[in-house]
Copies of this chain bind each other. A is one copy, B any other.
């Protein structure tokens, strides 16, 4: 999508200068930086800052503040993501940070232990939301909505143990897009994959791949390999770990911890090595065992149709049918997907490294029905952009290139070289504010001119308005261009118009 890249390219270039490609070692540095974050949290916990009070000033474990620099990067990235969601016709929605505890039970499988509960202070039992999908399904059921295309940007909370998953935050931002409703097969699913491609291309994070599978194919595979149906969810959770731990360790978990027969595990092992394009779908149709399973055939049929639509969207080459993709959450019922950034071959030579998932999603046709008193189903498919990882990558990239961002948008600074000119400065700046011009001054009665000009250079303010006795007498104002240090005199009554003209030109 060359036009799209171009469209984003401008905004991106403004933020990150002209350098668009990450250097070879960016991804590796990123991961280092994440573990440093985790370490920093631990260190700050141990510091003995206990002179005045018996507590240490810190944010809770696994959380962090976002500095103004981080907020600027975040805002630009979220703007891009949301504008893509809006391009696809999504409406905005917001739900409370916490839900009734019972709304979240039996939705997340093995991960349920990671839900934050609120203290029982009398009244209802509450939990912080774990994702934005379950609240969306609750909203649909509660309002009896049969279809909706919505996006939701918000924080979610998970009590991940930093010792297991290093550098993962316990509070993080999710950006979700979902399509609810009964439609002809695979059209909304294909749009979700198109959206992931548009966002990852637009953000210029480098090459990526979207792994696709289907829960019905997984279930079919488990069935033909001889997994007892009661163990499907548990085995699925194990398979989901394949991008983090080796097949050997996953096999061990399935056999030793989950009681699977070793020969059954080995049969699964053969399947989960398979990945490829639409030809692998055709191949699996011919698989002597899988082709005997009704569920697997349904999944394969849908994947074939999906690939047809993805070809029309021009993104088929970004998609890989991958039998090892499982997705941990319980609620998926059909197609599932996960986007990963690819290392360039050069990077791979240096150190093979899993950069991890930057977007994921799938179909969950049963979730809304779990909330409906009569069990009425509303089929849904959606995606979540892993913006926290994207923030980390971009921040690391900026650090590597020594890129700086302005954290304010101030356009004009009101200065004076003279003492006792606060009144004139205040009158003048009010005039600028009232005209919608972004303006600042120093909160001092008698600041030095050099201090005022340094402030502009340090914070990137492009224009300075200088007022003094001489100017007041002559009815003019001096306008200084910070970059060139050029100064021009402007009639006081033309000041606002002149500033607006110069700002619209730049």
* Residues in chain A within 8 A of chain B (CB atoms): 1-4, 7, 49-53, 55, 57-61, 63-68, 71-72, 74-75, 86-100, 102-103, 116-121, 123-124, 126, 128, 138-139, 141-142, 150, 155, 157, 159, 171, 179, 181, 183-184, 187-188, 190-191, 194, 198, 309, 312-314, 371-375, 407-410, 422-423, 426-427, 430, 433-440, 443-445
Which residues from B are CB-within-8-Å of A422? 187
CB of A148, distance to nearest CB on chain B (Å)? 8
Which residues from B are CB-within-8-Å of A97? 97, 128, 155, 157, 171
Q: Report how far A409 CA is from B191 CA in the complex, Å.
A: 17
**Is B118 within 8 A of A116, CB to CB?**
yes
Which residues from B are CB-within-8-Å of A194? 430, 433
**Is B138 within 8 A of A57, CB to CB?**
yes
Candidates B118, B184, B434; contact of A119 at CB < 8 Å: B118
Candidates B53, B94, B96; contact of A60 at CB < 8 Å: B96
Candidates B57, B71, B184, B444; contact of A91 at CB < 8 Å: B71
**Is B86 within 8 A of A51, CB to CB?**
no
Which residues from B are CB-within-8-Å of A102? 55
Which residues from B are CB-within-8-Å of A128? 97, 118
**Is A314 within 8 A of B88, CB to CB?**
no
CB of A129, distance to nearest CB on chain B (Å)? 11
Which residues from B are CB-within-8-Å of A439? 87-89
Q: Report how far A108 CA is from B320 CA in the complex, Å.
A: 55
29 A-B pairs with CB atoms under 8 Å apart are A3-B435, A7-B435, A51-B374, A52-B375, A55-B100, A57-B142, A58-B100, A59-B142, A60-B126, A61-B124, A65-B139, A66-B92, A66-B93, A66-B95, A71-B91, A71-B94, A88-B433, A88-B438, A90-B408, A97-B155, A97-B157, A98-B171, A117-B119, A118-B118, A119-B119, A121-B159, A184-B444, A187-B422, A312-B423
**Is B407 within 8 A of A91, CB to CB?**
yes
CB of A442, distance to nearest CB on chain B (Å)? 8
